[in-house]
Structure 1
Amino acid sequence: MNNLNLRDASECDAPIIAELVYVTEDDPEHEWGEGSKEEILDRISYLVKVEGSRYYYKNIKVAELDGKPCGAIILLKSDDIPMLDITTSIKLFMSIKGVMRKIKFIRDIILASRLDECEDHEIYVANLATSEEVRGKGIGKSLMILAEKMAKEQGYKRCSLLAKDKSLINFYSKLDYKLEKEERYFSHNLYRMVKMV
């Protein structure tokens, strides 16, 4: 793909990153608190601009096809995740309106804390998303190859992720990710996959 460009994200990318990341979650209200889709997209856009959040733009690479952003990948160092989670949770809690919504969000944080996302000294692919109109064009694969290259350059030996369904397991398996374990996450299962890089 000659017209594909992979680049660092910027604050200006916040709206498109929010749209892309939103569709990666089956239960967005568990991840970002209850509210309308617009409210949740606003929260994610806000988090893209917050230094120290999981969604901070400096943790994100963007794919552009013919100059138009069409994909994003969020990469986190395993050692950084605990602090990123604290900052993200606090910022989300402060932006959620209503006492009942805040209480539900705290409950969801507690339930989600049981999830084993990654192990020590891994690069964790927190989110990978491409816009619907470009799926099947190899953009997700290109972003994953970039993630693995960056992991190697930074001295990491493993990349990990959580796949949410069989089609994603198949996609990552084709990239040589191995299924390590299955975990329950709210109403569905997630599948931890790992690749040595």
Structure 2
Amino acid sequence: MNIQIRPAQPTDAEKAVPLIMDAIGEIANWLTGATEDEMVAERLRELFMRTDNRHSYLNTYIAEMSDHMVGIIVLYPGEDSSMLDCNLTNWLIGKGVPTPEIDAESLPGELYIDTVGIAPNFRGKGIGTQLFTFAEDLAKQQGYTKLSLNVETQKDSAIRLYKRLGYEIVSPWTIIGEPFHHMVKLIQ
């Protein structure tokens, strides 16, 4: 399967946002301050096209096959997460959302994998693994020795996959009051 991975562009918002929404589920409501799917999608498209938040196109890479978007990965330096989340909080306040508490998801010194989404018709074909390999290569290029992610504690199959890819559970984590595992892969 010939997959190309490239940096996202603002014009990718329309196709990338459904993959993000599918990957993060209800967290999308929390990140946008919206509850109805169309408003969540509209606000995520707006965030995607901005340059100052975790789901910006600047932090997103697109997996394509024959010019069709088949997957996305959103990742950013852990040391940038506070600034990105502060910008998100200010944006939400500007939307009239009561001041939300944005939970930190990463630590300095880590390249943090925030979101991985694969188009439904392309799941199980190794695209996710290719995106994780891309993230590892990017981490090396940028001088990181750690890649990290968070996974819900009850998602046993995802935890097994991440362990198979070399990630280890290093600490408990809480996001939106829910328990997660913080997993890290050391990069050599």
Same fold flag (TM > 0.5)? yes
- Give the drift of 1:177: 0.5
In the alignment, what sits opposite 1:74? Answer: 74
Q: What are the equivalent positions in structure 2 for 1:40-79 lying under 5 Å apart?
A: 40-79=40-79
**Which shows bigger deviation, 140-149 or 15-24?**
15-24
1:20 aligns with 2:8: no
Aligned to 1:158: 146
Q: Give 1:118's aligned residue.
A: 106
CA contact under 8 A between 1:161 and 1:193: conserved in structure 2? yes
Identity of aligned residues (%): 28
Q: Which runs of 5+ in 1 are unaligned?
A: 97-101
SS at match of 1:191: strand
* TM-score when normalising by structure 1: 0.87
* SS of residue in 2 equivalent to 1:44: helix
Match of 1:94 in 2: 94
- Residue 55 of structure 1 aligns to which amino acid in structure 2? H
Structure 2, unaligned runs of 5 or more: none
- Tell me by how many angstroms 1:34 deviates: 2.6
How far apart are residue 184 of structure 1 and its match? Answer: 3.4
| Deviating more after overlay: 171-180 vs 18-27 | 18-27
Structure 1 residues 195 and 18: CA distance shift in structure 2, 3 A = same
The equivalent residue for 2:121 is: 133
- Residue 187 of structure 1 deviates from its aligned partner by 5.7
Q: Which moved more, 1:28-37 or 1:155-164?
A: 28-37
**What residue is the counterpart of 1:99 in the other structure?**
none
Report the counterpart of residue 137 of structure 2 in structure 1.
149
Q: Distance in 2 between matches of 1:15 and 1:94?
A: 23
Structure 2: how far apart are the matches of 1:20 and 1:188?
Answer: 22
CA distance in 1, matches of 2:30, 2:111: 24
Deviations 1:82-125 (A, max 9, x none): 111111222233235xxxxx22xx2xx32x43x4x222211000
CA RMSD of the aligned region, Å? 1.6
Distance (whole Å) between structure 2 residues aligned to residue 61 and residue 194 of structure 1: 20
Equivalent pair of 1:43/1:92 in contact (CA under 8 Å): no
